[in-house]
Structure formats: C-alpha cells, structure tokens
Amino acid sequence: MEHDLEGPQLPTPRGPLSAAVKEYLLDTGVLPGPAEVAGASVYGDDLQLALYLCYELHYHGFAGVAPEREWDPDLLRLRAALEDRFLSALRRDVPAHDTLADALADLLVEPVDGTGVSHFLRDEGELWQVREYAAHRSLYHLKEADPHAWVLPRLWGRAKAAMAAVEFDEYGGGRADRVHARLFADLMTDLGLDTTYGRYLDAASAEALVTVNMMSLFGLHRALRGALVGHFAAVEITSSPGSRRLAEAMRRTGAGPAAEHFYDEHVEADAVHEQVVRHDVIGGLLEGEPHLEADVAFGIDATVFVEDRFGDRLLADWRAGRPSLRTPLTPVTSHIS
C-alpha cells in the first residue's frame, strides 16, 4: 500500500459545494454559505464529496493542505451544517425497527435466495465488476477500522475492552503484514489496481461516499457513540457470510491468492467478532447506558439503508452493462489475463 506522507491529491470537484471547499483548503477561495448547503442534494455527489473532504482532514489529510485546516473554525462550522443535513436525512429516511432485538435478529437471518452484490459477484460477476467493487471499497478498506477507533475513548469497562480486542484483530494483532488495510492493498495488487491511498476517490460513486461518510459522522461525535456501535455490529454480523461469497467470487474469477485471502480472513475473524460485538460491546455499552439502545438500533438500520443504496446502484449499472465508476479503470497490469 502506497502512502504519501503529505496525503493524497485533492479530488476533482463535483459541484459548487465541493469546489468551494477545495479552493478554501488551498487558500484560493471562500467557503460556501447556508444557501449553497441547503440547495445541494443530501445524498448527491457534491454534498457528499464536500463532507468527505472535511472528514479526510481527520485521517490522512491532502497534499498541499495545511495540517491546521483540520481544526479550522469556519470549516468546522460548514462541516456541522453538512452533517446536520446528512444526519437529518438519515433519521427521516432510514426504515426503523421497533426494538434493538428486532434489528439484530434481522441481521442474523440470511435470505434463502439472496440478490445482493456478494451474491451477484459469486454467481455471475465478471472480473471487471470485481475490480470496480474493490475500487469503490478502497475508500474504506485502505483505512479499515480507523473510523471505529474514534469510539474507544467514549466507551469504558467491558464495552471498551471488547471493542479494543476486535480493533486489535483488525490491525493485524500487532503484525504489520496482517493489518486488514494491508491485506486489502494486496487484494488490489492482485486485481491490477493502484494501491495508493485515495487513488479512487474521483472514481467512486456518491453512494459509496455515503457509506464511508456515515462511519466518520458516527465516529467523530461522542453523542453518536451508540450509532457507531450499531454500525460496527451491523458490519461484523453480516461480514462473515458476505465475505464467504466474495471469497468464492475471487476464486471463480481468478482474482488471485491475495484477493481470496482477504475475504477468507474475514470469514474466520468476523465470525468470532460477531459474538464479541453482540454480547460484550453492545451488552457492555447498554449495561452502563441503557438509554442508548435506540441509538444502537439506529446505527444498525442506517448501515443497512446506506449499504442497500450502494448495492442497488452497483447492480443497476452492472445489469445494464455499464460501469459503476465515474471514471474508467486502467487496464489490468498484474498476472490476471
């Protein structure tokens, strides 16, 4: 995995909001006002990219952007306005379960005839679609577990210990070569993709940006710690069966041994993580803060909602025979033929 210490290049704007944020980060313009924020589509490319730019300052930053921008008061005020629109839309649009128990129960039920992305890639996906999927997911997987690490200072006792244990696994159990972000970079190498951090930001759809931005939204706010735990639970509970299907897709399409290994690793690890998260992270959190139960359920339901939107977008494009990325991938240059 290639990582420029100065951060990735700033992406191409997708509208007036993201253009203004980019210019402000480069000290060449001013931030947009309330009218521009209110007028942008909440799940659209422009608002989501503007929000992504604000969030990425808390991760790797961008080349040419001063580190001080991370805590720039004016930029934080804009971010708060973008977040307010995003969170309000999620609370309005996400179909909610009546109880946390119901939300968890639905996650544990695998459909008999699955129609999701992992089913498609396993059963009929082609190599170009596998590569596109990996490019989209690289926005998260090259910083896998980082958004969830924000919640650790907001937990204590059994919940903190269990969350730290799962995160330790995500970070390779102390071994750099087993860090999951490193394993995903190896998967990308097998697929002939550029492993540079942030390389596919310009190519990723708005729906993909939404999935990553929601993690940052939940992770960066103490008030949303319950939602972050719910999100983490949804990811871990659904990961093992989904990863099994994706591992089969990698084998069937000849993606390569590292591509297979990434998902095989998640089949085993996340089957264990599921139990820890349900019983110790969620259980420990609610022992001390039972009033957060509805927030945990919201985090689960919101995760299903944004992942379904992303999956629907991918499948609609692929079934129509068109690329799901905004810009085409370069030809394969690895061992894949």
Instruction: Specify the pLDDT at position 271.
Output: 73
Contacts of 136 (CB under 8 A, 6+ apart): 200, 203, 204, 205, 208, 310, 314, 324, 325
Instruction: Specify the pLDDT at position 337.
Output: 32
Work out how many domains the chain is built from and give that number: 2
Q: 49 with 11: CB under 8 angstroms?
A: yes
DSSP type of residue 155: -
Same domain, 136 and 283: yes
The amino acid present at 251, given as its one-letter code, is R
Q: Is 7 part of any domain?
A: no
Confidence band for 109, pLDDT divided at 50, 70 and 90: confident
Share of the chain above pLDDT 70, in %: 96
What CATH code is carried by the domain that includes residue 249? 1.20.910.10
Confidence band for 4, pLDDT divided at 50, 70 and 90: low
Mean pLDDT for all residues in the chain: 94
Instruction: Specify the pLDDT at position 334.
Output: 42
Domain of 88? 16-93
Q: What is the reported pTM? A: 0.95
Q: Is 287 part of any domain?
A: yes
Instruction: Specify the pLDDT at position 110.
Output: 75
Q: Is 207 part of any domain?
A: yes
Element (H, E) at 263: helix 257-276
The amino acid present at 337, given as its one-letter code, is S
Same domain, 273 and 290: yes
Q: Is 269 part of any domain?
A: yes
R_g of the chain, CA atoms, integer Å: 19
Same domain, 121 and 266: yes
Same domain, 88 and 163: no
Q: 139 with 208: CB under 8 angstroms?
A: yes
Same domain, 31 and 137: no
Residue 285 has pLDDT above 60, yes or no: yes
The pLDDT tens digits of the residues spanning 20-70 come to: 999 999 999 999 999 999 999 999 999 999 999 999 999 999 999 999 999
Q: Is 310 part of any domain?
A: yes
